[in-house]
Amino acid sequence: MERGLLFLRLAMPLMKITGPGLISMSIATAILWGCIFVERSTVAQARADAYRALSEIHALQQKQHVVPVSSPLLRPRPAGPAIG
């Protein structure tokens, strides 16, 4: 008899997850996966925006062109008083 009682005590689970506990864990897991998904999509969007901004900067730098200026005209010096 003692041996049968020992088997019953060992066969009983130490912990039992209740229905509300299981639902709570499922909700927490779903929220965690949602956060991971949102974080990854945010990082991907930020990376795409950064690449787009860099390509626009590059395009603007290529668009700028240097306009050569005309060389200054030499003006004749006015005749000043002669020395000597």
Residue 15 and residue 22: Cα distance in Å, rounded? 13
Q: How far is CA 77 from the centre of its chain?
A: 65
Let me know if residue 10 belongs to a domain: no
Residue 47 is part of which domain span? Answer: 21-60
The DSSP code sequence of 12-52 is S-S----HHHHHHHHHHHHHHHHHHHHHHHHHHHHHHHHHH
The pTM assigned to this predicted structure is 0.52
Burial track 41-63 (b if 16+ CB lie within 10 A, e otherwise): eeeeeeeeeeeeeeeeeeeeeee
pLDDT, tens digit, 9 for 90 and up, residues 11-33: 666 678 888 999 999 999 999 99
Let me know if residue 34 belongs to a domain: yes
Residue 57 and residue 59: Cα distance in Å, rounded? 5
Q: Token digits for 38?
A: 């949102």
Count how many domains the chain has.
1
Let me know if residue 25 belongs to a domain: yes
pLDDT, tens digit, 9 for 90 and up, residues 27-83: 999 999 999 999 999 999 999 999 999 999 998 888 776 667 777 777 777 776 766
Let me know if residue 45 belongs to a domain: yes
